[in-house]
Amino acid sequence: MKKKLMILLGMITVIACIGLAACGNSDSEAEAPAEETAAEDTVEVESIDASIYGYAGEDPVEATVYEYAATAFAEEFDVEEGMVSIPTVMIIDKIENEDGSIDVTGDFWIDNYTIEGDTLVNQSGGDFPGKMHIVMEGDTYKVESFEGVGDGSEFEPTAKAIFGDSYDKFMEVNSDEDARAQIRTETVANFVKANNLEVTKYQDYGWDPVELPL
């Protein structure tokens, strides 16, 4: 009787172990799709080559900002063949949204030049402060929309709406001509080197030429 009882207990133990093993396999199989899903959700972002617009960094979002500033804002002017358009970018905030999009606020300038000898001569340009809404398209970023600060009496209310808590920071950046001139000079120098131009300076109408740090 004792021997039969021991055999019965042994069989119960074996069955229990098999059941636990089966449960363990079930959990492993259930977790596998989650790992695969996480891997599938990871997207490697390809950065555009924004060096041709004067950008010297490696941030793909900022590269997209430079490309948009150099192209979209230049379209607001009569840019003739042979002229070059170079942005001056001063980013205030980069805000990541829940849907994966990114809002970049900043003070964005564009200057359009003709090449005269070794000098870039400014023909037109302007300031486009506001917010770029950036989304993923394939494996790269693109600016889906731009909300600009208004003119005249609309400047203050629209700027406050766009920049929010960073309004004072924006106003400080927008009014700092020395900092803007330094960033502009560096960007123009980067543009000249990236595009292999035989240029050593740029000049605004009525001002002395500015030597580039080449």
Global confidence as pTM: 0.80
* Structural domain containing residue 28: 1-42
What mean pLDDT comes out for the span 191-203? 98
| 118 and 85 in a common domain | yes
| 150 and 201 in a common domain | yes
- Whole-Å CA distances, 114 to 87, 196, 205, 210: 15, 15, 12, 15
| 80 and 27 in a common domain | no
| 154 and 96 in a common domain | yes
Q: CA 180 from chain center: how many Å?
A: 20
| 149 and 87 in a common domain | yes
pLDDT of 53: 98
pLDDT for 148 beyond 90: yes
| 132 and 103 in a common domain | yes
| 79 and 38 in a common domain | no
Q: Number of structural domains, the chain?
A: 2
| 74 and 136 in a common domain | yes
| 105 and 14 in a common domain | no
pLDDT for 1 beyond 50: no
First to last CA, the chain: 99
pLDDT for 25 beyond 80: no
- In the structure encoding, which two tokens stand for residue 88, read together? 């001056």
| 157 and 65 in a common domain | yes
What mean pLDDT comes out for the span 20-35? 46
| 175 and 102 in a common domain | yes
How sure is the predictor about 45, in pLDDT bands with cuts at 50, 70 and 90?
A: confident
What mean pLDDT comes out for the span 8-26? 42
At 114-136, the pLDDT tens digits run 999 999 999 999 999 999 999 99
| Percent of the chain that is helix, strand, coil (3-state, to 5) | 45, 30, 25
Q: Measured between alpha carbons, how far is 40 from 65 in angstroms, rounded to an integer?
A: 27
| 70 and 110 in a common domain | yes
